[in-house]
Amino acid sequence: MDPEISDVFDVLQRRDKTDRQDSFYSDPHAANYISSLACMSVDQFTREPERLAEERTVVLEQTEELAYSHYKTFVETSRTGKEVQKEFKGIERQIVGLLDVLPKFSNRCQQFSKEAQAISAHRRLNSLTLSKHAELVEILELAQLMETCVRNGCYEEALELASFVRRLEIKHGKIPIIGSIVREVQESMRSMLNLLIAQLRGSLSLPQCLRVIGFIRQTEVFSEPELRIKFLQARNTWFTTSLESIDRRDPYSFIAKCIEVHRVHLFDILTQYRAIFADDDHHLYGHHQVFNINHSYLLSSWVIVRIQNFLATLESSVGQKELEGRLDSILSQCMYFGLSFSRIGCDFRPLLIPIFAKATLGFLQTSLQEANQRFRTSLQTFSLIKATSTMNRSKNDNPLHPPLNLLEFFPLAEFCNLVLQALNTLRLCCPVSLVSDVTSAVSTALENAAKEIAEFHRHEEQTFTGAETENFTRFVSYFVLDLTPFLSRCVQALFPAAALAQVLGRTPAAIKRSGLGIVSLKKVVSPLESLIPEETLLEALALQNPEALVPTAPSDVLAEAETPTVTYKIQEAVQEEAAADDEETVEEEEAKKSEVEVNQTE
């Protein structure tokens, strides 16, 4: 084989091995040319380089000829290529700048998208708001509507609005405008509650009271115990205001009106409370059941406080001098008050007795002190020379008529008159419990009068004439034998033995023997023992236990003085005491017989 051909094959093989992936082999013209080489003969293949060189020369010549003939086109193409290259570089720079700006542009686009969405949402909300304008206006006007309802007293509508606002708060409480509406409505609710409580502080009928408490309950502000306390506080304020409005210038009118206000208004409040809180009735009626102590004792405690205040007011008022002769009327009103309250388990009548007993005793003691003062003044101006015996000392048909002998001595007659006036005033309101105090007060008054007589004798004894000494002896005798026993009988008439026996559970005879209600003559005349004869003293002591009688009317000694008249049933009292004595005698005989029978059995 020709060495040149071998070299060509070697070259082809090397290229085939090393440059198989070269672009030359991928060119279809190259592939066709290689295929044609394989089909050539040896001569053709040998002459192929020369043919290629000749073809190359021809191509170069054609190229040069083409360049000479089309050089302007090549120049223009070159210039255009440079411009294109320049433009491409500018485009590259712009692309680089665009790549730098694109992230920011993307962010701005995203921001724009969000803003557009927000604007769209706002627009949608505005459209929805416009479509719901009427409903929104109603909600926004809830606070104003609530205030109008409260101001006009439309409490049912106000409570319905408040209930709606509470539901609205639960659903949309986080919305600021809803929160503002809720606060305004709550403020109106507080105003309504204050108005309702203010109504409880005024005069209310039972239906009105039930209606007001119903509204307060629906507000759900107070628990049940708090509502009871608030009700009692409000009604107590109204009750206290009613008491404070009473005119105090006239003591009797004041105390009478005070009793009436307590009786009527307290009963109304109790009725209202029991109608509203029905489970609290058991305590007033004394039912022994187990209830909530916080509920059951509220009303009873309040009633006790009001009754205590009433008794304190009564005690401070009945002792006034203007009420001295009208205690019986006040007592009857108080007893009627207590009777009406006894029907609901609030009977306080036993508490009235000490108050009226104290007032009655105070009036009596004051009157007796005034009597002693008048007696002392009369003795200072009294002259025994003017005293003359105008009538004989004789026994009256009625032992409760004042002794006429006292008219001989004005101080004794005046003193007797004043004591009788005090006892007649006491008779109008005379509790049996005062028997010892009244007896002691009258005894003390007589004892003080006796001391004044002894003091008068001590000062005037040196100047007594025979006639004055005789008149003074008669003066003392009338005081001891007539005045003192008569006043003792008057005290016994105020407290008959039969009445005392019935209260104390003893017989009238035992009451007489105990000396209860009898003025101790020995104690009264003790300052005068040295001034009276012994026989006069013995006669006075013999009159210590007179026959128990019930007076018809202690009359006045002086003609110009008048005292109240009283009707007494003498015969009935005597018959009752006689019957009581007979019963006591029969009981004693039966007791003796039973003792004898027991002894015989033993």
| Residue 292 token pair | 């909530």
Handedness of CA 126, 129, 133, 138 (dihedral sign): negative
Res 273: pLDDT? 92
Res 18: pLDDT? 52
Res 544: pLDDT? 60
Res 174: pLDDT? 84
Residue spans per domain, the chain: 3-69, 137-221, 241-347, 368-588
CA dist 541 and 525 (Å) reads 10
What is the band of 595 on the pLDDT scale with cuts at 50, 70, 90? very low
What is the band of 6 on the pLDDT scale with cuts at 50, 70, 90? low
- 70-121: per-residue pLDDT in tens? 778 878 888 888 888 888 888 888 888 888 888 888 898 999 999 999 999 8
- For the chain, the average pLDDT equals 78
- 300-331: per-residue pLDDT in tens? 889 999 999 999 999 998 888 888 888 889 99
CA dist 394 and 22 (Å) reads 183
Distances (CA, A) of 17 to 8, 13, 37, 49: 14, 6, 18, 22
- 258-278: per-residue pLDDT in tens? 999 999 999 999 999 989 987
Distances (CA, A) of 322 to 41, 84, 316, 354: 173, 136, 13, 20
Its pTM surpasses 0.85:
no
| Residue 351 token pair | 């508490």
Percent of the chain with pLDDT over 90: 20
What is the band of 14 on the pLDDT scale with cuts at 50, 70, 90? low
- 218-239: per-residue pLDDT in tens? 888 888 888 999 999 999 999 9
- 402-432: per-residue pLDDT in tens? 888 888 888 999 999 999 999 998 888 888 8
CA dist 306 and 313 (Å) reads 10
Burial pattern 362-400, b for ≥16 Cβ within 10 A else e, equals ebbbebbeebbeebbebbeebebeebeeeeeeeeeeebb
Q: Taking residues 191-212, what's their average pLDDT? A: 90
Q: Where is pLDDT greater, at 196 or 132? A: 196
- 437-468: per-residue pLDDT in tens? 999 999 999 999 999 988 888 887 777 788 88
CA dist 53 and 489 (Å) reads 189
Largest CA distance in the chain: 220
CA dist 254 and 9 (Å) reads 155
Percent of the chain with pLDDT over 70: 79
- 366-379: per-residue pLDDT in tens? 999 999 999 999 88
Amino acid at 512: K
What is the band of 5 on the pLDDT scale with cuts at 50, 70, 90? very low
- 117-163: per-residue pLDDT in tens? 999 988 888 888 888 778 778 888 888 888 888 889 888 999 888 88
